[in-house]
Amino acid sequence: MLNKPKIGVIGIPGKWSTEVLADRLEEQTGFRAVIDMNQVELRLDTNELMYQGLDLMTLDGLIIKKISEVYSPATEDRIHLLSHAERAGVKVFSPTDSVGNLVNRLSGTLALQQGNIPMPKTRITESPAHAFETVREFGSAILKPLYSTKARGMIMLTDDDSDEFVRNALEEYRQNQSIYYIQQTVKLDGRDLGMVFVGGEYLCTYARVGNKDSWNTTINSGGKYELFEPDARLIELGRKAQACYDLSFTTVDIALTDQGPVVFEVSAFGGFKGALEGCNIDAARVYAEHVLQEVTKS
């Protein structure tokens, strides 16, 4: 192929997952572009989407590795800018409609529910009274922000908390949230799973093993990655969950509980470190090769 495709990476400059994906693309094509969305300008008068002198509309593809450091409604504005390039014929991975559904936790959850995916018991309401009743009914519950990653901003409430403490926590949560998203905690065995898919095909599964000082297993809270070998039934659950969306690369978060496996969420921007450290697989290379195959299809 004389003219190798030019693929840009939407991400956070300097962040490992962003940079390693750009590295893998550069190795294959000789072209490298890491694009920070806060420096992108859409010029509707000239139909250009500019980043540091580069018109993204001239690229063959864009990979949305990380669209913002912190999720917020503003993240959806960035998706709209990229959807303009997508409609103009630039291939975007994952498609902007799919990413948009997953930036907001509520829309992502509803897609899983409609796909009949087993999840922890979940209630959503604007009513403080209903939220309080739900927390008390669940016994142990987690308040989850609609826009967050890596368990940031989550509040855990238990049977041991007083009514006053629970009401104060609900009030504090609502100061930054439009609606209560309340999920019953599940009994983990100290780990949860990240099941990786590329182009809808199963790649590997790693476990996030928590440290004993934190209620969650995220790496931010001191967890570590280990290899996990799922059975065919569990892989099929992961496949079914990610199929609720049209994603080019994703990690399905699965917990093994005494009630059977449940899906916490499907990630729009799954990272590569779990596959590398847990499974010894260079998922960034696999993803780059998948994108290049898709872009070069006649």
> Is 297 domain-assigned?
no
Note whether 18 and 97 are same-domain residues: yes
> Is 128 domain-assigned?
yes
Overall number of domains in the chain: 3
pLDDT at 211: 61
Q: What is the number of alpha carbons within 13 Å of residue 22 lying toward its C-beta?
A: 21
pLDDT at 183: 95
Note whether 166 and 193 are same-domain residues: no
pLDDT at 102: 87
Q: Find the CATH number of the domain harbouring 59.
A: 3.40.50.20
Digitized pLDDT (tens) for each residue of the chain, 298 residues in all: 458 999 999 999 999 999 999 999 999 999 999 999 999 999 999 999 999 999 999 999 999 999 887 767 778 899 999 999 999 999 999 999 999 888 888 999 999 999 999 999 999 999 999 999 999 999 999 999 888 666 678 899 999 999 999 999 999 999 888 899 999 998 887 889 999 999 999 999 999 987 655 444 454 445 789 999 999 999 999 999 999 999 999 999 999 988 899 999 999 888 899 999 999 999 999 999 999 999 998 5
Note whether 151 and 213 are same-domain residues: no
User: What is the spatial order of strands in the sheet that 54-55 belongs to?
Assistant: 41-43, 48-51, 54-55
Q: Find the CATH number of the domain harbouring 276.
A: 3.30.470.20
> Is 112 domain-assigned?
no
Q: Find the CATH number of the domain harbouring 170.
A: 3.30.1490
> Is 56 domain-assigned?
yes
Note whether 156 and 216 are same-domain residues: no
> Is 265 domain-assigned?
yes
pLDDT at 1: 46
Note whether 180 and 200 are same-domain residues: no
pLDDT at 150: 62
Note whether 231 and 215 are same-domain residues: yes
- Cis amide leading into 162 (omega within 30): no
Mark which of 136, 169, 184 sits at the end of a domain. 184
User: Which position has the token pair 């959850």?
Assistant: 109
Note whether 138 and 96 are same-domain residues: no
Note whether 195 and 275 are same-domain residues: yes
Note whether 60 and 20 are same-domain residues: yes
> Is 110 domain-assigned?
no
Mark which of 102, 133, 148 sits at the end of a domain. 102
Note whether 176 and 193 are same-domain residues: no
> Is 289 domain-assigned?
no
> Is 58 domain-assigned?
yes
Tokens (6 digits) for 4: 């190798």
Domain hosting residue 20, numbered range: 7-102
Strand 249-257 with 191-198, pairing: antiparallel
Rounded CA separation 64/67 (Å): 6
Note whether 74 and 45 are same-domain residues: yes
